[in-house]
Amino acid sequence: MSTNLLPTVPADAPAAPSDDGPARTYVVRTLGCQMNVHDSEHMAGMLEQAGYHRANAHDEARLEADVVVVNTCAVRENAANKLYGNLGQLASTKARRPGMQIAVGGCLAQKDREGIVERAPWVDVVFGTHNLDALPVLLERARHNEAAQVEIAESLQVFPSTLPTKRESVYAGWVSISVGCNNTCTFCIVPHLRGKERDRRPGQVLAEIEALVAQGAIEVTLLGQNVNSYGVEFGDRGAFAKLLRACGTIEGLERVRFTSPHPAAFTDDVIEAMASTHNVMPQLHMPLQSGSNQILRTMRRSYRSEKFLGILDRVRAAMPDAAITTDLIVGFPGETEADFAETLRVVEASRFASAFTFQYSPRPGTPAASLGDQVPHEVVQERYERLMALQDRVSGEESAAQVGRTVEVLVTEGAGRKDDASHRLTGRAADNRLVHLALPLDVAAARAALDGDDRLDEPLDPRVPRPGDVVTVRVTHSAPYHLVADSALATDEATSIYSVRRTRAGDAWAARERDRAGLGGDHAHGAGTGAASAGGPVVLGIPAVRKG
């Protein structure tokens, strides 16, 4: 095994597979947060630039490829269990597939390093969060040397957004505005694994957004561990609000979202920018973690529940239709029944549309892992169930209040579990609520009778939406975590609300799918000129600086 803790990969090192014959295939399996999803897009982009081809859907689902990359998370204990479960499955696959390579990247790779190869010696490459760019070279080196390569950089070598990117979606994209975090939450290992916050300059961020829009995207999500501290590194504490306003000037960009802000750094200027910028969506995801001020102190969360609730009040005053979501931790060390009661109180008052709720998981290397007074598992479980019951009720009430509203739904590629049986499509409203919408009866019947995909037809029925198109419907039913819009089925003309707006994003999706199907032709009408292929890697003209 070759181990290197300092970056030594030369910029011009050969990375493409050297064997003659069919192109090697790859799969990237992502575990973890949105930042990891976006990092996986960079990994895929680099592999494609190096000559690899993405495996087909059947092989991808079975992790059958010449190269399998597992992009890991280290936030919770079950993330490690998922990694080694995946690696165990891959051991047998590799045994019957000569020449297959397995690479492990991401936060757990940054943390465990050589330990991954010691525990799973069939792994070929381990690389960390700071040197994504090394992946193709490490794969080639491992093949050439016939030995595992472990390379972990201690600081960021190349800003990930300067790397080639294979976007999962053509109608929506992730855009990193910063990496790393300067906070010191006692439960969180992310600052140790991703380092101190590094901010991209606004011009670089806006250039990437404009490039995405030129390729057909109409929605972007700005990413950072703490987006509203953006600008601290280059001396402008108001930079995030300015960035939101600048997004409002980009022609063709219809929806802007961001995740995640920290309550301690959330300013009224950001609220005003959200409310006054036409394409910033009425949605906010802001982690609460706990409603107990004592637990917030122990967590080193530098706000209190009163401040958090005050922010929500001001957001709703500026944007009455805003849907607010959060993260919650149950059973943090020292949490008493009185502390938990405070969490229930704040959750009830916050009226979250939904909440990502977790049972506390000690992470080695974090201050909280060594705290005394760990809460027994059975107590944590019981509190977790009470909190989930409360949030289910609140979410159900908030969703029920949406019934009767007319919403614009951006149709997505992912289908709901019952979409085929119900002949519905799935998408997201402006406030990011999940919406299942019905097609007109005759459209649904015609689609059900087809063998192929009518969304690629030319001419296309104007009532058939494609992923990336926007459909206006009325919400007719609700459940705690989704809405149903069956207004297309109404027999009364006054309540039969259904209209499809074609978008450049839908055009870009159709062009990509026609290309994948080998249908050829230029069908990306209005998707912009001079843009990269909708399905290919994107390389922005931003220089990458290497040290050493």
List all residues 6 or more positions away from 217 whose beta carbon is below 8 Å from its beta carbon: 169, 170, 171, 172, 173, 253, 505, 508
Of 463, 459, 470, the C-alpha closest to 506 is 470
Answer for the pair 545, 534: CB distance below 8 angstroms, yes or no. Answer: no
Contacts of 390 (CB under 8 A, 6+ apart): 344, 347, 348
For residue 228, what are its two tokens? 């509203």
Q: Any binding-site annotation on 247?
A: no
Cα four-point dihedral sign 321, 227, 78, 291? negative
- CB of 375 closer than 8 Å to CB of 331: yes
Sign of torsion, CA 348 352 353 357?
negative
Q: How far is CA 114 from the centre of its chain?
A: 28
Tokens 């063998």 map to which residue?
451
**Two tokens at 137?**
């070279």
> What is the phi/psi pair of residue 341, to 5°?
-60, -35
CB 103 within 8 A of CB 68: yes
CA 153 to chain centre: 24
Place of tokens 């590194």: 233
Determine contact, residues 17/52, Cβ cutoff 8 Å: yes
316 token code pair: 């709703």
185 is in an annotated binding site: yes
Q: Extract the tokens encoding 132.
A: 């994504």
- Phi, psi angle pair for 4, to nearest 5°: -145, 120
Give me 72's structure tokens: 């890991």
The strand pair at 172-176 and 149-151 is best described as unpaired
Q: How far apart are CA 207 and CA 200, in angstroms?
A: 11
CB 181 within 8 A of CB 226: yes
Cα–Cα distance for residue pair 351/122, rounded to 1 Å: 48
**CA angle (292, 295, 296) in 5-degree steps:** 85
Distance CA 434, CA 323 (A): 12
Task: Report the binding-site residues for [4Fe-4S] cluster.
Answer: 33, 73, 107, 181, 185, 188
Residues within the annotated binding site?
33, 73, 107, 181, 185, 188
